[in-house]
Amino acid sequence: MPELPEVEIVRQSLSKKIIGKKINKVLVRNRNLRLKLKSSFENKLKSRFIVKIGRFSKYLILELENKSYCIVHLGMSGTIHITNNRQKNSFTNTSFYHSPNLPKKHNHIELFFNDMKLIYNDPRRFGFFQLIKNKIDLKKRFKNFGPEPFNNKFNLSYLTKYLKKKNKNIKSFLLDQKFVSGIGNIYANEILYLSKIHPLRSAKNLTKFEYEKIIRNSKKVLNNAIQKGGSSIRDFKNILGGTGQFQKEFKVYGRDKKSCKRQSCSGIIYKIIQANRSTFYCQTCQK
């Protein structure tokens, strides 16, 4: 599943391609996504102009000129492709995972513009499109989500209040979207490594200094991943043919049994399973 940096890359790609464009036609080939599309979906999008592409957490938010919104979540395997009517794209994928070219199957939704077409492809159909009537309803849609790491609300006071009596391990909290939005498994591993915090540590036992390190390193890791174009774990490419480069900078993720990269540490990276997810940590410097 794409995490915040990868979804941000999709947002940036779409912003360059479809802002200001009118949706001339909507074709739904399969309504049975994670949230079943209503029969009114096509008519509510048709003839609307896209004025902005936003993002919250791992969700894309298409703002339409009538102040309504379309939320897009890519799920486990969803990808968005742009094809140009006048020239054949070498690469169609707006993101950095799965095929860089448009697959032949599983095209569920197509938005037609004058000179191009947006295609949503999703083999596993865990993603969804959801129409939101107005800004008030949009705010309600995300009311149970925690702040993003970039938000000023993700601060020492918030962490101290939220975690001070919690027994659950800190990595589980980093993955809990009710606590903080947008962090997934890859980046949670990297954040805890930089913070020198063991992933099994009980959240309530962390010090304020360690909370501050989590806040600082959450921003640092995600910003770096965005600047590097995301993580192309399987060497996938974006719409311009470029791969995400952040995977080359992994300090701990996927490095089971390898030496710790910290110069002052002679430890070995271990892999364990937490809540059916792989966790990587240094046995020596993460306490």
Sorted by sequence, the CB contacts under 8 Å of residue 197 that are 6+ apart come out as 170, 206, 210, 213, 214, 286, 287
Average pLDDT of the residues in 205-210: 98
State the chain's mean pLDDT as an integer: 91
Q: Hey, is 167 helix, strand or coil?
A: coil
Neighbour tally for 13: CB within 10 Å: 20
* pLDDT grade for 238, boundaries at 50, 70 and 90: very low
282 Cβ partners below 8 Å, 6+ apart? 193, 252, 260, 262, 265, 267, 268, 269, 270
Cβ burial 194-212 (10 Å sphere, 16+ → b, else e)? bbbbbbebebeebeeebbe
pLDDT in tens, 263-283: 999 999 999 999 999 999 999
Q: Where residue 2 falls among pLDDT bands split at 50, 70, 90?
A: confident
Q: For 5-58, write each residue's pLDDT tens digit.
A: 889 989 999 999 999 999 999 999 999 999 999 999 999 999 999 999 999 999
Residues noted as catalytic: 2-3, 58, 277
Share of the chain above pLDDT 70, in %: 92
Question: What does pTM read for this prediction?
Answer: 0.90
Q: Could you give the domains of the chain?
A: 4-141 (3.20.190.10), 156-282 (1.10.8.50)
